[in-house]
């Protein structure tokens, strides 16, 4: 199974994601420069964290118009697995692949620390290795991680079981304690915490590794023909 990690100007977690897939998951992975326009050779695509284009306009707003994003949109709409982490989540929101928006943290400060999450839905390609209701430790590192969606949108997320992770103690003001969601089809994940930074015990937690392990499990199952 081949993974791709998109690299935007300003990405700074691309190598962490590459390491998680290559060294820990033991799967082929390539960097994808943001000017690339084809993703046919990949089984899953990761949009990593960082500060794409320096967050000079609105977080993710410039990266959304990179050439790669038309390919990502097409890839996602054809059923391809897409994982957006932190800034990658923000880019998916800007591109309309996930509903809602990101606001400044209610503290108006950058926050970088481990937080506890509750796993809300394990019936997705990204969470099958977790247990329902499991509490996990995964770090955050953001200034604009305050997820917002209107009441109608929030109700839709709940009805369609799109909320994947919730904060146990909300660090940024996100509505309904939301830390991660999927699209209605379930093949696009956006999460603000960094699973690649908690992918092995030496980092203080290996809870995030299960996101990558779940993804690989789903891809392998999909490839088995009856």
Q: Which residues are catalytic?
A: 86, 194, 196
Distance of CA 45 to the CA centre of its chain: 10
State the Rg of the chain over Cα.
16
- Host H or E run for residue 70: helix 67-77
DSSP string, 176-208: GGEEEEE-TTS-EEEESS-GGGGSBGGGTB-TT
Closest by alpha carbon to 81, among 226, 216, 221?
216
Please choose, from the candidates 66, 55, 153, the residue with its C-alpha nearest in 3D space to the C-alpha of residue 101: 153
Whole-angstrom distance between the N-terminal and C-terminal Cα of the chain? 19
Q: How far apart are CA 33 and CA 219, in angstroms?
A: 23
Q: Contact 167/174 with Cβ under 8 angstroms?
A: yes
């Amino acid at each position: 199974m081949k993974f791709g990690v998109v690299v935007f100007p300003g990405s700074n977690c691309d190598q962490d994601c590459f390491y998680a897939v290559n060294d820990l998951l033991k799967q082929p992975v390539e960097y994808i420069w943001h000017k690339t326009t084809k993703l046919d050779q990949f089984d899953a695509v990761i949009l990593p964290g960082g500060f794409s284009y320096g967050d000079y306009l609105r977080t993710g707003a410039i990266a959304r118009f990179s050439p790669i994003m038309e390919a990502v949109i097409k890839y996602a709409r054809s059923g391809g697995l897409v994982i957006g982490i932190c800034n990658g989540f923000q880019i998916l929101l800007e591109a309309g692949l996930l509903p809602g928006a990101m606001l400044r943290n209610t503290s108006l400060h950058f926050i970088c620390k481990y937080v506890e999450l509750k796993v809300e839905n394990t019936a997705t390609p990204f969470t099958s290795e977790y247990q329902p209701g499991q509490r996990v430790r995964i770090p955050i590192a953001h200034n604009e991680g305050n997820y917002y969606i209107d009441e109608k949108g929030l109700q839709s997320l709940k009805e369609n079981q799109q909320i994947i992770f919730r904060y146990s103690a909300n660090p940024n003001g996100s509505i309904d304690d939301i830390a991660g969601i999927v699209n209605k089809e379930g093949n696009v994940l956006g999460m603000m915490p960094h699973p690649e930074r908690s992918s092995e015990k030496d980092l203080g937690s290996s809870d995030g590794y299960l996101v990558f392990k779940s993804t690989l499990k789903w891809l392998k199952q999909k490839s088995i023909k009856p």
